[in-house]
Structure 1
Amino acid sequence: MKQIHAYEELQSFLQNNEKALVYVMTTGCSVCHADYPKVKDIVTDVNIPSVYLLADEVPEAAGQLSLFSSPVVILFNHEKEYHRQARIIDFDMLKLRISQLLQEY
């Protein structure tokens, strides 16, 4: 997963990928750093374009995406939010939603 350093990078990534996953974490969040490898393994297995960002480094993204806690996983379909999980990530549900997203046209 590539790290995003500016909101413009995120917008460009979403414009260039019809279906995508964005993982948001903060620097001091131990749960965020513990969940990151699990999310990374999932996106590697299903081959969905994905990026991550640190909300404290890209505050504009946090504001634009209405991020009030972390970690957050957001699935996008044609630049629109398809699914979001925050704080406690249900990895089985995440896999299911990614599968559903990838099956849509």
Structure 2
Amino acid sequence: MKSITKYEQWLDIIQQEKHLLLFVKTTNCSVCEGLYPQIAALESDTTIPFYVANAAEVPELAGQLSLFTAPVVILMKNGKEYARFARFVPVQEVIEKLQELKKWEE
């Protein structure tokens, strides 16, 4: 996963990428640390780019995306939010939504 460290970087990414997955975590979040490797492992099964951001380090991102908890997994399609999973993220549902996005790429 590529890291996002500035809000401006996020704005550039959503302009450039057709589809993407954004994993948002925060500092000292045990749920985030447990979920991150599970989501990161999905990256090798798809061509959709994955990004990670720490809401504590990029508060503008959290504010603009209305993120009130962590972890959050957001799938973007053509610059718009396609699916959002927060706090207790069902990995199987993320896989299903990634497969749907992959069909849009074909």
What TM-score do the two structures reach when normalised by structure 1?
A: 0.96
Which string of whole-angstrom CA distances, capped at 9 and with x for unpartnered residues, describes residues 48-75 of structure 1?
1111000000000000000000000000
* Aligned-residue offset at 1:47: 2.6
Give me the whole-angstrom Cα distance separating, in 1, the residues matched to 2:11 and 2:73.
16
Q: Could you tell me which residue of structure 2 aligns to residue 70 of structure 1?
A: 70
Q: Could you tell me which residue of structure 1 aligns to residue 91 of structure 2?
A: 91
Structure 1 segment 25-40 matched on structure 2, within 5 A:
25-40=25-40
Which string of whole-angstrom CA distances, capped at 9 and with x for unpartnered residues, describes residues 4-62 of structure 1?
10011111111111000000000110110111111000122223111100000000000
Which segments of structure 1 move beyond 4 Å, counting only runs of 4 or more?
none
Equivalent residue pairs, number? 105
Q: Could you tell me which residue of structure 2 aligns to residue 7 of structure 1?
A: 7
- Runs of 5+ consecutive residues of structure 1 not aligned to the other structure: none
- Runs of 5+ consecutive residues of structure 2 not aligned to the other structure: none
The amino acid that maps onto 2:79 is E
Structure 1 segment 47-58 matched on structure 2, within 5 A:
47-58=47-58
